Amino acid sequence: MKQHTVVDSPYGPLTLVADGDGALCGLYMAAQRHRPGEETFGSRIAALRVFAEAQEQLTAYFAGELKEFTLPLGLHGTPFQRAVWEQLTKIPYGETRSYGALAAALGRPGASRAVGLANGRNPIGIVVPCHRVIGSDGSLTGYGGGLERKQRLLDFERGTALF
């Protein structure tokens, strides 16, 4: 059974979703592409340990004090999607990787497009840093939260912009 809450951020409200095991299984921005319907988030409740931890870590991240999240995650997807999302968590703060580099790291060098599709379906934005994935030519490519948000996150992590 899922539960959710909504917290404020420099990007506006973020919807946090927890699965029945108490792990964070969703972090969605308003107007995010591939955002599930509200009815799938379960009841709204603020008093869950994972929500308090997530809010604390997000606050520290946006203050520039946290570089790596340590939240219990419930990544629900296909085995390939979960493998891609696990690779995303290995991209260091302030760095980027191309879709091709992620595909190669998975041992599937020809799967750049599939990596891109899985990246776009990442259910735990920011914490699982899909914003750190760029095109092979260094260009910004699709981001469920919008390219402006992606650029702001990358600039923030590189120390070239503040929230």
C-beta separation of 58 from 45 below 8 A = no
What stretch of H or E contains 20? Answer: none
Average pLDDT, the chain: 93
What stretch of H or E contains 25? Answer: strand 24-29
pLDDT band of residue 123 (cuts 50, 70, 90) is very high
Is residue 161 pLDDT above 80, yes or no?
no
The pLDDT of residue 119: 93
* Mean pLDDT value of segment 2-18: 94
The pLDDT of residue 32: 85
What residues pair up with 29 in beta bridges, in sequence order? 14
Is residue 160 pLDDT above 90, yes or no?
no
3-state secondary structure of 74: coil
Catalogue the active-site residues.
130
The answer to pTM > 0.85 is: yes
Half-sphere exposure of 5 (CA within 13 A, CB side): 17
* Mean pLDDT value of segment 124-148: 88
Cβ burial of 68 (10 Å; 0-12, 13-18, 19+) is exposed
C-alpha angle 18-71-139 in degrees, rounded to nearest 5:
95
Among the four given CATH numbers 2.60.40.1080, 3.30.70.3450, 3.40.640.10, 1.10.10.10, the one describing domain 79-157: 1.10.10.10
Question: Residues of the chain with pLDDT > 90: what percent?
Answer: 77
Task: Judge: domain 3-62, CATH 3.30.160.70.
Answer: yes
Is residue 40 pLDDT above 80, yes or no?
yes
Where are the chain's structural domains? 3-62, 79-157
